[in-house]
Structure 1
């Protein structure tokens, strides 16, 4: 028995977002971001019990709306077909679901039994007029997320595959949950969710106590616990029904439309989807409150839920809109409204004395003074950020990124200054044993932002789905049908199987010899392990700035290609794993921003630590091929009596580790030579040669050069 929605303690924004989406599913769904153990799944499952029952024709597997006259692929139905009512469904989409299971496919059983084509509904059809819940949506394969969000936006699912073609209604309340520590959604997909809420466990002792008390009471006697909150549940159902009935009559005036547009322009969201979502959410909020017109309170509530995740200008930005920033945006919008009303009162042709063109007016004032619906976009960038400043907002009182390494909010960027790896006074005489110096945050405004393009591992692998190297597996596009099952596992190719049966004279009743399998090719993700020298010899300001810029570019590339990343650093007397391999590139970005430089250079220890990480990850995930990116000047000054010899020996161990993998090299190495100055020793090149890897200078780590050196490293 589901936990009652009204029994949930805390999370007011999440409960409001879910209820507003229940009132108007056209808002576009809710994305719930938060740490583990915050009752995300419990709240979503509880919501489904509040939705009204739906009327469907008996035997209609697609559950189309009878009253709306929708057509079902199972139809046509006779006019006197019985109609029955059933509860709205909660359909869960597992992370490992196939495309066939999501959108539907050919009904093979019907084909084999009766020799006629029939369609099998997918999860999108089952969720029609209900809730489609995707736990860990950030781990769902990209092409499935695309299909899911396209259906959610259009309200229909179109299927063109396996020799069948059909379409059916697919209107559902989409709810996705995710833990940002396990990886982020692409910004394009993040924008497709109507609302987003971040949930965190309460730090208030009384609230945490009540959460535990209610959880234990529910587990001990679910029926009694449900009875205890039955009246509250009925009241919520009635309020949802009333809000749905009121939705079409709620007035959204031009004044509030201008306010919405001004707020969206002020916070500098991309595109127009934000304006539409805020408008729909504000109307739903007014209907939920039981009023007949949208006002500023409805706009405020809608903007707080619909805008934070649309402010991301960068993959490493944290979706955030502080209360201070929102209130400032509303103030600017109010001033824009006042200016617009003043212009309308003056009239467009007011050229008399004291008017814009009159003798008493300002000769430079024209009829268009920058006020109006778009005034928010003309506000100075400083006004767009929180006036509160401070570390949390990344404002003037902040020394850098806010919590979790998030860059300062958009609207206040500092122009990057050109930096390179050339020498200066400090760089020509590096010191290995100086004091700790803070490492410039990755992607800090003073750095040059380098652009890294895709590089691929040689051959065709069999790793997890991603967007980097070629791979064969159960996902991807079908390139041909084969008689033998591929190594990645059997994937029956239905049309080819039926055709083989017909050609064999069995009329759609295949024998085992007729079975054909789909040979599919897609892309795989790799493990990109950064091994970063943060010793004193790397501490020169300009050089470290260039190094962090290069790492930033490679991290962005890893984010876009859906790779796992890890970070190993070495300095002083040893090496440490700053970040074990993870899918959260955002976390890697934050960890690199917190590093410090200084001390001697135990290069051999760094290489050995990297080798241990790669070996452990291969045991955990043998199909994922790796790329080691070593950033160093090659000056080994720690780790034994002969530190350079020890480093060369450790590099030879990496070469042995890079044995053949499934479809290509198991791993490859790229050494980024960070040495600078007029006199260069070329030590990084010797390390690259011993590791059987490629060598590239820091100056070359831009654009096409990144792709070229990486392809060389893997022998592509």
Structure 2
């Protein structure tokens, strides 16, 4: 076997020359443990790292690659086949008698904006058109085989890419069926994703595909933070010298991983441990059987890491803490978590009683106190100092006010009363509210748009960089000119003007800006609970459709931006639940605040179309913030300005009672929007209305001539 020098980094790989040493990371024991367990047993299923910005998530993941043992590969194989057990279905084929070379394990990074072709591979268009042959160009999944595939900000990755990625991780292979090419190749890799929950959550079904999940946060201990900064500054000043200081610890960790891998097949998972695993998953009501399998594989890896051949209760407990928290979410707004007291009770009830204590981390493990792993007590910061993100002033709910000017209103005793936050009613499945027309925003599930995915509706000349090639249209454009261009072989003579890209239509995500009336008139008839339940339902709908959301409330004298536009829908839900009500109704101020927020967002993200959802009964009793005068007229002027901007709007009419003034309908006309009542917002109400209409139509006498004649 020969050794080859390290190759230069290629696109999609880590380009750093000297990465931060893994043993130099301070603290973050759970994250280091989860990564090392996956290095010992890739079947565990990867790691999802959740944490605030500046907590060294990316630094720790990139440092892991240096610890992985070298990989024996077939020379020239683009799919990294193992010479000892080559893949019989490898597209490069013919490896039976090939020798092998050793190379370092790769860490391949998947950019958030990557295309589907870049991920799974595609037809080699250049060879297909120039030589007339079908050739497959491998993607990042092929390059990551037998290495690490790292996705930073995985929660911002397009859904269809996440589906492809996690399917490949689960099956250990990638299937490509496109453009006349049918290819299968091995794709076994350690999948690691990092995300900041403030920027939006992953869907629960995607969370379940990650084997383990770890929450990270910066230390609040001054001494640990000092050590983080000291080490990071030393590394930045001289990366090579800093890495040399930790070379011995890295070598020891690398050897320990190799030893644990060799020991893993000998580890026995006894019946007692299996009962504890099954009982724990049942007690926490996790869906499916994936959690049981992940816990079992994690417990086996923990035992091997500790140098044992039997699984103890402490291994099962630690496996549960890593594998179950993200699988217990019943509502998308629920934060991952696990009741450790309930876990201990379950393990004690179903344990054999002699499998060891309930110490959450085995001695000598990366989370323990043994110096064998070479790690210290906290992690380096690859961004800001690691402080918890401070809540913006605009994100705080308004403090209760009892000013005289806020106690005046058209409904004495109602608008002047400041209520405590009202609990929302149970959320429901909301009807689809979309933006008219066809947009070109980020892929999502709300409004019609021209996107990179979806059904192909035509072809066009590229606008700038070529997107997805429309092969048939390209060939059709080039075919009439082949004789004039002097074609002599089987290939096609192409010019740039011949190229055509596919035009596809799918769905886009939008910015859904909620403008919520929190004045006393909304709380006068105990409507606020129903209003919050309706908005919470729309937030759940926005979460499923991958929208950005923002929240503005108005009451008293002015409007407040409670939540600037963000992808973190669960943060919006939390702010909504804390929202109190009371005071006058400055409707004009709310509309003008919404217009300003939308103006700024158009500059930041011009491709993302907004949808304004005004939640109000249409009343207006205060116009001072809008320049004074008649509050109703001021609200009308503000609404017409929004309409002139071309803002798509929906008015959620919250008026109730036997006497209805219809003010929300008036506001909707000024906004050039539709008005929807709370009942009409329910998707089941729309279904029932359609069924009722069909039933009435079917039973109408005009549709039964025989019955009519009788």
The TM-score, its normalising length taken from structure 1, stands at 0.81
- 1: CA distance between counterparts of 2:181 and 2:680? 51
Equivalence for 2:422: 440
Instruction: Find the residue that maps to 1:198 and give its secondary structure.
Output: strand
1:430 and 1:611, CA in 2 relative to 1: closer, same or farther beyond 3 A? Answer: farther
1:252 and 1:656, CA in 2 relative to 1: closer, same or farther beyond 3 A? Answer: same
Instruction: Find the residue that maps to 1:146 and give its secondary structure.
Output: helix
Equivalence for 2:348: 331
Instruction: Determine which of 493, 497, 501 is the counterpart of 1:510.
Output: 493
1:567 and 1:687, CA in 2 relative to 1: closer, same or farther beyond 3 A? Answer: same
Instruction: Determine which of 622, 637, 658 is the counterpart of 1:638.
Output: 622
Deviations 1:493-518 (A, max 9, x none): 24553566567544323322432221
Contact 2:22–2:60 under 8 Å retained in 1? yes
Instruction: Find the residue that maps to 1:700 and give its secondary structure.
Output: coil
Deviations 1:663-690 (A, max 9, x none): xxxx321111212233222222211121
Matches within 5 A, 1:151-170: 151-170=168-187
Matches within 5 A, 1:463-482: 463-473=441-451, 475-480=452-457, 482=459
Q: CA deviation at 1:481?
A: 5.0
1:591 aligns with 2:575: yes
Q: CA deviation at 1:113?
A: 4.5
Q: CA deviation at 1:700?
A: 2.5
Q: CA deviation at 1:429?
A: 7.2
Matches within 5 A, 1:492-507: 492-494=469-471, 496-498=473-475, 501=478, 505=482, 506=487, 507=490
- 1: CA distance between counterparts of 2:411 and 2:307? 72
Contact 2:415–2:524 under 8 Å retained in 1? no
Q: CA deviation at 1:73?
A: 3.8
Instruction: Find the residue that maps to 1:437 and give its secondary structure.
Output: coil
Equivalence for 2:639: 651
Instruction: Determine which of 457, 460, 463 is the counterpart of 2:435.
Output: 457
Equivalence for 2:534: 550
> Structure 2: which 5+ residue stretches go unaligned?
1-17, 354-390, 392-409, 690-710
- 2: CA distance between counterparts of 1:693 and 1:608? 16
Instruction: Determine which of 170, 183, 192 is the counterpart of 2:209.
Output: 192
Matches within 5 A, 1:357-372: none
- 1: CA distance between counterparts of 2:612 and 2:344? 47
Instruction: Determine which of 527, 536, 541 is the counterpart of 2:520.
Output: 536
- 1: CA distance between counterparts of 2:479 and 2:93? 30
Equivalence for 2:705: none
- 2: CA distance between counterparts of 1:648 and 1:498? 56
Equivalence for 2:384: none
1:16 and 1:654, CA in 2 relative to 1: closer, same or farther beyond 3 A? Answer: same
Q: Which has the higher contact order (CA 8 A, sep 6+)?
A: 2
Q: Which moved more, 1:318-327 or 1:29-38?
A: 318-327
Contact 1:31–1:193 under 8 Å retained in 2? yes
Equivalence for 1:50: 67
Contact 1:29–1:174 under 8 Å retained in 2? yes
Q: CA deviation at 1:99?
A: 0.5
Q: CA deviation at 1:477?
A: 3.0
Number of aligned positions between the proteins: 607
Matches within 5 A, 1:182-581: 182-334=199-351, 431-434=414-417, 436-442=418-424, 447-473=425-451, 475-480=452-457, 482-485=459-462, 490-494=467-471, 496-498=473-475, 501=478, 505=482, 506=487, 507-512=490-495, 513-540=497-524, 542-581=526-565
1:63 and 1:647, CA in 2 relative to 1: closer, same or farther beyond 3 A? Answer: same
Contact 2:299–2:319 under 8 Å retained in 1? yes
- Cα RMSD between the aligned structures? 2.3
Q: Which moved more, 1:684-693 or 1:118-127?
A: 684-693
Instruction: Find the residue that maps to 2:67 and give its secondary structure.
Output: coil
Contact 2:51–2:217 under 8 Å retained in 1? yes
Contact 2:130–2:493 under 8 Å retained in 1? no
1:676 and 1:502, CA in 2 relative to 1: closer, same or farther beyond 3 A? Answer: closer
The TM-score, its normalising length taken from structure 2, stands at 0.82
Contact 1:486–1:519 under 8 Å retained in 2? no
- 2: CA distance between counterparts of 1:177 and 1:78? 36
Q: CA deviation at 1:697?
A: 2.0
1:671 aligns with 2:651: yes
- 2: CA distance between counterparts of 1:56 and 1:498? 38
Equivalence for 1:346: none
Equivalence for 2:383: none
1:77 aligns with 2:121: no
Contact 1:498–1:510 under 8 Å retained in 2? no
Equivalence for 1:67: 84
Instruction: Find the residue that maps to 1:699 and give its secondary structure.
Output: coil
Instruction: Find the residue that maps to 2:584 and give its secondary structure.
Output: coil
- 1: CA distance between counterparts of 2:622 and 2:312? 67
1:698 and 1:455, CA in 2 relative to 1: closer, same or farther beyond 3 A? Answer: closer
Deviations 1:426-482 (A, max 9, x none): x99761112x3222244xxxx232211333322221111111112113x11351552
Equivalence for 1:691: 671
- 1: CA distance between counterparts of 2:328 and 2:561? 32
Q: Which moved more, 1:247-256 or 1:303-312?
A: 247-256
1:700 and 1:319, CA in 2 relative to 1: closer, same or farther beyond 3 A? Answer: same
Contact 2:70–2:105 under 8 Å retained in 1? yes
- 1: CA distance between counterparts of 2:338 and 2:458? 51
Equivalence for 1:420: none
Deviations 1:605-655 (A, max 9, x none): 011111111122112222211111111122211123421121122112222
Contact 1:631–1:673 under 8 Å retained in 2? yes
Deviations 1:319-377 (A, max 9, x none): 1114334323323434xx68xxxxxxxxxxxxxxxxxxxxxxxxxxxxxxxxxxxxxxx
- 2: CA distance between counterparts of 1:706 and 1:670? 16
Deviations 1:169-223 (A, max 9, x none): 0000000000011111111111100000010000011111111111111111111
Instruction: Find the residue that maps to 1:49 and give its secondary structure.
Output: helix
